[in-house]
Each structure stands twice: as C-alpha cells, then as structure tokens.
Amino acid sequence: MLEETTTIRSKAIFSDDKEHRLLLRKEWDSEKPTAMVIMINSNTADTVNFDMTTMLVVNNLHKLGFGSVNIVNLYSKIMEKLDLRFNGDDELIDDEADDVIEQYAAMSDAIIIAWGTIGKKLFAQVQRIKAKNKRNTGRYHSKDLTGKLVCDVCGKRMIGNLRFSGRSKTRLATYRCNTHRAACNNKELNKDYLDAYIAVLIGERLKPKNLRKAVSKVNQQVQKFNSSYDKYHTDVL
C-alpha cells in the first residue's frame, strides 16, 4: 500500500475593503521553483476556495515541475467578468496592486502571462493562418522578425537567413536586407543577439501599466474581428 499526503499552503493579499485581491499564492512543494502567473482580473478564489481557473493553473504548473505559484492580475478588483467599457482604471486597480506584482515577481523563477480562451471564431481563424504559413514556409528558417525590420541603408524590409559557416559548418542565423547585395551593402545582423535585445525591450513593455494598455487594445481588435466575422458570414449566408 502506498499512501501520499500533500499539504497546499495558501496565502492571499486583499485590499482593506476586500474588494480587490492583490495576490493569491499556492505552495505544494517548497523545494521546487515558483511561477508567477499574470492574469486579467481577480476572481472569487481565496485561501480555501478554488475556482476552475486556479485549479487549472495549479494542475498545469504541477505537471511542469513547479512547486508554488503567485497569481496576480492586471485588474485587481474581484469580479466574475471584466468589462473595460464600463469601468475605469481607478475603480478596477488598487493603489498597491503594482507594488505587490513587482515584489512577488522578484521572488518568482518564471513569469507566465495567461490570457485565457480566445473563442471558437478567432481560434478557427488562427488555425487557418497557421496552416497557410506551414504551406508557405519560405526559403529560410530564421523568420521571427522577418518583414518587421527595416534596412537603415536602403529602407527595404529585412528577411531571415540561415546558413552554415566555416569548416565546422556552424549554424548561423541572421537577418539580412531583402535587396540584392549589388544594390545594398548593409551587413547581416546576428539573429540571436538581435532577438535577445528585442526580448529585453519587450520585457520593459511588460510592466503592469503597459500590459493594461495592451490588453485594452487587444480587446478592441478582437471585438472588431468578431464583428467583421459575423457580418461576413451573415452577408454570405
């Protein structure tokens, strides 16, 4: 007979009026790393009660080898569903929320941004785009920023380039100008170095206040897409 006993330690930080939840922490193995999960808005889960989202987060992090999680939210106000159209930031965000996020981020080994579901319509659209990209993989494998970089010599777009250099055939991934070399003498850029630099810049953008602005813009784009999608199918059908 094999018997296992696991204790999950819970901690929650609320505002004085308990209308905002600034942190929900669950720990089941203190020897393993900690993940911070940043989600959109706080729900009703606390030190005793698990909602579906919290349960899924804990289950998945356990499978990934973590021993604890710090759950924080861009909008700290406790509500079942966030509606940005009718609530301003002053009502949705506690004054100390950002400080708590930064404090526990420094104590976490990994930071995960959890967006949730995107809906069947948008998911279907994404799958079509992925299938199209898979069919048209292009000539190179170094495509992360392909088409998003502009050559500072001729102004043309830069593309990913993968080649093998030297006697050892070392794999070298770069970005280079799409213009023929005879017309532009700009040098290739090391992909790994540039991607790392871009990641640092993105990290600066992923601060709570900047993320809230991004969330608002993404929500607007999703609403526009859904409206266009519904109108298209209504017209076609």
For the residues of 78-90, what is the DSSP string, one character each?
E-SS--TTT--HH
Q: Are the C-beta atoms of 26 and 49 separated by less than 8 Å?
A: no
The domain boundary, picked from 113, 147, 181, lies at 113
- Between 144 and 61, the higher pLDDT residue: 61
Residue by residue, DSSP assigns 80-137 as SS--TTT--HHHHS-TTHHHHHHHHHTT-SEEEE------HHHHHHHHHHHHHHHHT-
Q: Are the C-beta atoms of 165 and 173 separated by less than 8 Å?
A: no
Q: Are residues 42 and 84 in the same domain?
A: yes
Q: Are residues 92 and 20 in the same domain?
A: yes
Q: Are residues 154 and 103 in the same domain?
A: no
Q: Is residue 214 part of a domain?
A: no
Token pair for residue 66? 């973590």
Number of structural domains the chain divides into: 2
Q: Are residues 101 and 170 in the same domain?
A: no
Q: How confident is the model at residue 72 (pLDDT cuts 50, 70, 90)?
A: very high
Q: Are residues 140 and 106 in the same domain?
A: no
- Between 56 and 227, the higher pLDDT residue: 56
Q: How confident is the model at residue 174 (pLDDT cuts 50, 70, 90)?
A: confident
Q: Are residues 53 and 144 in the same domain?
A: no
Q: How confident is the model at residue 36 (pLDDT cuts 50, 70, 90)?
A: very high
Mean pLDDT of 111-131: 70
Q: Is residue 71 part of a domain?
A: yes
Q: Are residues 148 and 90 in the same domain?
A: no
Q: Is residue 102 part of a domain?
A: yes
Q: Is residue 36 part of a domain?
A: yes
Q: Is residue 161 part of a domain?
A: yes
Boundaries of domain holding 161? 135-199
Q: Is residue 184 part of a domain?
A: yes
Q: Are residues 92 and 21 in the same domain?
A: yes
pTM above 0.95, yes or no: no
Q: Are residues 187 and 91 in the same domain?
A: no
Q: Is residue 215 part of a domain?
A: no
- Between 46 and 69, the higher pLDDT residue: 69
* Length of the chain as a residue count: 237
Q: Over the stretch 93-103, which tens digit does the pLDDT of each residue have?
A: 888 888 899 99
- In this prediction, residue 138 carries a pLDDT of 40
Q: How confident is the model at residue 136 (pLDDT cuts 50, 70, 90)?
A: very low
